[in-house]
């Protein structure tokens, strides 16, 4: 079997970036569903959920995992950086409140590092 990502590191990064952009597009679409009349909104939501399933299936066939972090404890070893990390101290117990970009991982190697927003575990943080 031919490795679909057997190309250069640059090619792998491009495919990972495409996965991230596709994920962001479907997530944005799901947020917009509420702006549509009910019938059209349900149809679009179903299509976007199917598209997300396709992203998982196809990326999985290429050996890629799309990793989301919502609700997870934020640790320095996770394959994501916190866009608002400078707002907190080293001793704060942080949790991911929103995944901005998922991480793309293949064979336990990070192809694309994710981006997240964090908050203190005990604070109530509202999504922007």
Query: What φ, ψ does residue 100 adopt, rounded to 5°?
Result: -85, -45
Euclidean distance between the first and the last CA atom of the chain, given in angstroms as a whole number:
44
pLDDT, mean of residues 96-117: 96
Residues 84 and 89: their CA atoms lie apart, in Å, by 11
- What's the pTM? 0.83
Looking at every residue in the chain, the average pLDDT score rounds to 90
For 2-6, 34-38, 47-51, which range has the lowest pLDDT when averaged over its residues? 2-6
26 neighbors 48 (Cβ within 8 angstroms)? yes
Query: Would you state the pLDDT for residue 27?
Result: 94
25 neighbors 18 (Cβ within 8 angstroms)? no
Residues 106 and 113: their CA atoms lie apart, in Å, by 12
């Amino acid at each position: 079997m031919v490795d679909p990502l057997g190309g250069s590191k640059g090619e792998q990064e491009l495919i990972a970036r495409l996965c991230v952009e596709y994920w962001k597009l479907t997530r944005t679409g799901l947020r917009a569903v509420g702006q549509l009349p009910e019938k059209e909104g349900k149809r679009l939501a179903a299509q976007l959920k199917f598209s997300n399933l396709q992203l998982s299936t196809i990326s999985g066939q290429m050996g890629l995992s799309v990793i989301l972090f919502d609700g997870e404890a934020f640790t320095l070893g996770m394959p994501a950086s916190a866009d608002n990390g400078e707002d907190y101290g080293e001793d704060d117990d942080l949790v991911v409140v929103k995944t901005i970009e998922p991480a793309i991982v293949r064979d336990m190697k990070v192809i694309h590092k994710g981006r997240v927003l964090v908050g203190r575990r005990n604070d109530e943080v509202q999504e922007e």
